[in-house]
Structure 1
Amino acid sequence: MTKTILKYSGALLLTVSLAISGCKKLDDMNRDPTKPSTTEPQYLLTGAQKSAMDVLYSGLQNGFIAMHYAQYWSGNARVVDSQYQLDEGNNGTFWNNLYRISLHDLDALINMNKPKLSEPGVANQTAIAHIMRAWIFQILADTYGNIPYSQAFQNTTNIAPAYDDAKTVYNSLIDILQAQIKVLDATQTSFNTGDIIYKGDVESWKRLGHSLLLRLAIRMADADPQKAKTIIEANYQQAISSNDQSALFQYLADVPNRYPQNDVDRPIIDFAVSTTLLDYMNSLNDPRLPIYARPTADGNVFRGLPYGWATSDPDHKGDTYYSAPGKKVYSATMPGILMSYAEVEFILAEAAARGMTVGDAATHYANGIKASMTWWRDVTSSASTITDAAIDAYIAKVPYVAADWRNVIGTQKWLALYPQGFQAWFERTRLKFKKPGGAPLFMAPKSGVLDNSVKDGVPYRLTYPITEQSQNTANYNSAATAIGGDFKGTKLWYNKF
């Protein structure tokens, strides 16, 4: 994990076309955000990074949507989200913030740099923006399916962009990442300021590019196994290979740079840790449990809330009866995780299990568990409980089993992805894993599903924002037809298992 912390401000929404955001060091903030004329690449990068992380880790998007769909948490006061009734305001904000702020900033950065690509460091800046862009577009494609892509930023000539097929988007993102990795030149500068994730380190961005290629490839492993194999085998040796290389956005203790979902100023009572997560971790004596969850205020024990259980049920207790999420994941300085070393190791474990030439599956699997536990040990100062001996004992308790790789790798990757609700949800629907041995891990909402399109116990996607139906009607209708209907139960192109 990177140790250097830059001071930065929240993204400023600049009224140029849709939106352009910029950020400066706190002691430099002197600009009137209502009267912008120009900005600079480093401010656009900071704005894109912060706005994307803010929405990915907001309680409204990560909390009410993704952490529910990953079944890490269950709704406490408001249960309908756990029953798959989507809050359209939260959904629209997710779509709009990623398109109109994060991606728009990156598009502006790329266009701003086009006339000066021959200047020192500018090509590196542009390549970094393209890598960030690929990361965000994959999230959108994994969340919705077909999305506006090739026409997304033709806003001066086309305010109603067509939707591209999600598989086509994937293939384009792969091509872009491969090309931009080659552009990156470590002998040149990039961003002297403004890059919160890697502080302008070109080699780190190259590693992230290789790692994102692994993420794209493993998602399509059931739909296009040969292409997945080719990409993974070509990139795994250059990917993230230690916790210190993970891509993290470090939040700060002060407003407005705190982790989006923090309880510094008020308690958060909206969510409880689900029995799905808590009971499974408890059964394994997982040393991360006191980090992922808090003891109950009523009884000082770890007690999960059955998933999707309506508060109107007379047996449902008050919020103090169930374990709230852990203090670190509600802290002001919790980092936003873009991609971790643990995820890379679990990708390689799965790749090896599928017969790809990337090393030994059992070794990568054990490395993934160790990477997750040692990262949490470092970030929470839990050395006294997450000892090396405790990690080794845990791995012995959950051994790699080749014949059951989907369940074995799936469960441990799911545990390691906490609190990355979106990535964990994507993996849940892709792998459809159970507990090792085949017993069910996830449960259907206890009080029933509120969306009849959800047939497999979990949504495969979010429906398109309602604004698309009214403002981009023809393209919306075409996209809905192309994917098989704009329903949460519609499978994505790679959901073949």
Structure 2
Amino acid sequence: MKYIIKTSLLLTMIFVMVTGCEDLTDINEDPNRPAEVSVDYLLTAAQRQLGLRYYGVFDNIAFGMTIAQYWAQNEYSDEVRYQYRPATNNTFWLQFYTAINDLEEIIRINDELDLEDPTVNAAQVNNQNAIATIMKAWAYHNMVDIYGNIPYSEALRGSEIPNPAYDDQEEIYNSLITNVQNAVADIDEDEPGFAGGDVVYGGDMSKWAKFGNSLLLRMGIRISDVNSTLAQDVISGAADNAISSNADNAAFQFITEQPSVNPLYVSYIVDGRQDYAATANFINLLNSLNDPRVAEYFSPADESGEFVGLTYGLESAEAAAIPRSEVSQLNPQLLEPDFEGMMMDYAETSFILAEAASKGWVSGSPEQFYNQGIAASMEYWEAASSAQISNYIASNPYSEDNLAIQKYIAFYMQGWQAWAEIRRLDLENIPEANLVVYEPSENFIDIQGIPKRRIYPLDEQSLNSSNYAEAANDIGGDEYDTNLFWDVD
């Protein structure tokens, strides 16, 4: 399904909602826009918007996959040298809030319904609101994990609050956890959700419940170093009905019709670009483990037939001087127009449960869940037979360091989440992970080591300057090396 609401209109709406520069009623009375928008269409618009932006050319592709050190750049190597483009940061922020606004609009429309009216299916309304709430929480938690403090309680209030304050990131997490817990509790798996337009699960409410619980697992483990009591409570309460197979994975379902196709397809096939290669450090990690996923992640170098990576952090001229035939490029399957964009999967859920089991928070052994995570990843990528998976696990048995490394390997194509876990698990301090940490004299922004966050968009600095300044002060500075609340070194 194509977008029902065009991107230009969505960006106009979110500009109004965040800055309050125009009364929302002016947009609602736009003669070119329907007065009432179906909640199904709003869900599609929000899911497509989040998918296309989260996995966008300058987002997961240029930022997430490079900062996680899966990919180097064949040329124009700004991002691997931490030289980011301000305009793309503005767009990411605006479009995420645009999608969140559509999800809130679903709830607003449903809240105006009379649930006592016999023609209204109250259970269906509750299911729709639960889906919108889970999607909102997923979007907001990603924003927090990227930036830190963000507008939350005052966001999207238009002229009522033209300059929204930033909320404390830990308080946002606490609110999101409560909201998702309530949403999951409200789901009636025997009743419908949206009549159409759900491009994640096709309306399957049992899978939405599993996704909601898995999202709770992720948020719980992410706060485990700063609030272990809450983390244990959240994880133990969600573990039994989380994603339990690859069939339950939550993913944006890209299609073969523009504009809702895989952004990598657009970049490589439509636009004819070939910007990314495997990093030498990631290839060397996979090769050192005899990891069969290397052949699903990358193609052998044309010249040697071997898997060879490109040095991470080369200047543009140095990278461009190396023939592409000498290094491993992306596996063509990643470039398919309908290659899905993962939101959360069985492998991640399993690795979270392994960590939780090691703390005694869930029943089962860490080894059991660790092995399950490796198997889930390899089965998803169709990288190995059952016997090969068993042999691989035997060669790479459970340990805390191996758990961190295997989770990192399994997060391939999910650069944003890999980056979050690099920070939380201090993966750069595990030598076997093979990450590149620039020396201070080599760094390209004023930080020590791998960036800890993305700085706030320039538009926020100019359009919401007083609240921006307060937020920057509250988090310890709007810098790339400012730790998020859950990132305790």
Which runs of 5 or more structure 2 residues have no equivalent in the other structure? 15-29
Stretch moving more, 10-19 or 187-196: 10-19
Alignment of 1:373-388 (within 5 A): 373-377=378-382, 386-388=384-386
Aligned to 2:247: 244
Change (3 A) 1:346 1:482: same
Q: Is the 8 A contact 1:15 1:36 kept in 2?
A: no
Shift of 1:429: 0.7
Q: Secondary structure at the match of 2:99?
A: helix
Aligned to 2:260: 257
Alignment-derived partner of residue 24 in structure 2: none
Structure 1 residues 227 and 61: CA distance shift in structure 2, 3 A: same
Identify the range of structure 1 (362-371 vs 241-250) with the bigger mean alpha-carbon deviation: 241-250
Name the SS for the 2:343 alignment partner. Answer: strand
Match in the other structure for 2:26: none
Match of 1:90 among 70, 88, 91: 88
Q: Which amino acid counterpart does residue 345 of structure 1 have in structure 2?
A: S
Residue 44 (structure 1) shift: 0.4
TM-aligned CA deviation for residue 350 of structure 1? 1.0
Alpha-carbon displacement from aligned partner over 1:89-122 (angstroms, at most 9, x marks no partner): 11111111101x2111111111111111622111
Q: Secondary structure at the match of 1:280?
A: helix
| Alignment partner, residue 68 of structure 2 | 70
1:312 match: secondary structure: helix
2:141 aligned with 1:150: no
Which residue in 2 is equivalent to 1:51?
49
Equivalent position of 1:420 in the other structure: 414
Q: CA–CA distance in 1 between the matches of 2:273 and 2:294?
A: 19
Residue in structure 2 matching 1:350, options 322, 334, 355: 355
**Superposition map of 1:324-473 within 5 A:** 324-377=329-382, 386-401=384-399, 405=400, 407-433=401-427, 438-439=431-432, 441-445=434-438, 448-452=442-446, 454-455=447-448, 457-473=449-465
| 2:193 aligned with 1:190 | yes
- The answer for the alignment partner of 2:21 in structure 1 is none
Displacement of 1:35:
3.5
1:427-464, Cα deviation, whole Å (9 max, x unpaired)? 1011012587x446201259932101x21x21110000
In structure 2, the residue corresponding to 1:272 is in which secondary structure?
strand
Alignment of 1:154-303 (within 5 A): 154-262=157-265, 263-303=268-308
1:111 aligns with 2:108: yes
Distance in 2 separating the partners of 1:416 and 1:320:
26
Change (3 A) 1:149 1:174: same
Q: How far apart are the structure 2 equivalents of 1:142 and 1:275?
A: 27
What TM-score, normalized by structure 2, do the two folds share? 0.91
TM-score w.r.t. the length of structure 1 is 0.89
Identity of aligned residues (%): 35
Deviation, 1:284, is: 1.3
Q: Give per-residue Cα distances to partners, 1:371-404, cap 9 Å, x unaligned.
A: 0110111xxxxxxx62111111111111112xxx
- In the alignment, the residues of structure 2 paired with residue 365 and residue 78 of structure 1 have an alpha-carbon distance, to the nearest angstrom, of 38
Question: How far off is 1:316 after superposition?
Answer: 5.2
The alpha carbon displacement at 1:10 in A equals 7.0
SS in 1 for 2:159: coil
1:337 match: secondary structure: strand
1:270-303 CA-to-partner distances (Å, cap 9, x unmatched) read 1111112111111112111111111223333211
CA contact (8 A) 1:272 1:304 kept: yes
- Deviation for aligned residue 1:173: 0.3
Match of 1:381 in 2: none
> Which structure has greater helix proportion?
2
Given that 2:11 and 2:94 are in contact with CA atoms closer than 8 Å, whether structure 1 keeps it comes out as no
Q: Check 1:37–1:285 CA distance in 2 against 1; reply closer, same or farther (3 A cut).
A: same
With over 3 angstroms needed to count, the CA separation of the structure-2 counterparts of 1:439 and 1:340, relative to structure 1, is closer
Q: 2:138 aligns with which of 94, 117, 135?
A: 135
The answer to whether the Cα contact below 8 Å between 1:309 and 1:445 also exists between their aligned partners in 2 is no
Other structure's SS at 1:82 match: helix
Distance 1:420 1:314 in 2: 24
Kept in 2, the 8 Å contact 1:10–1:257? The answer is no
Deviations 1:231-251 (A, max 9, x none): 111110111111111112221
Q: What stretches of structure 1 of length at least 5 have no aligned partner? A: 1-6, 21-31, 378-384
The equivalent of 1:493 in structure 2 is 485
Distance 1:346 1:127 in 2: 26
- Cα pair 2:250 2:342 within 8 Å, conserved: yes
Equivalences, count: 465
**Paired residue type of 2:414:** Q
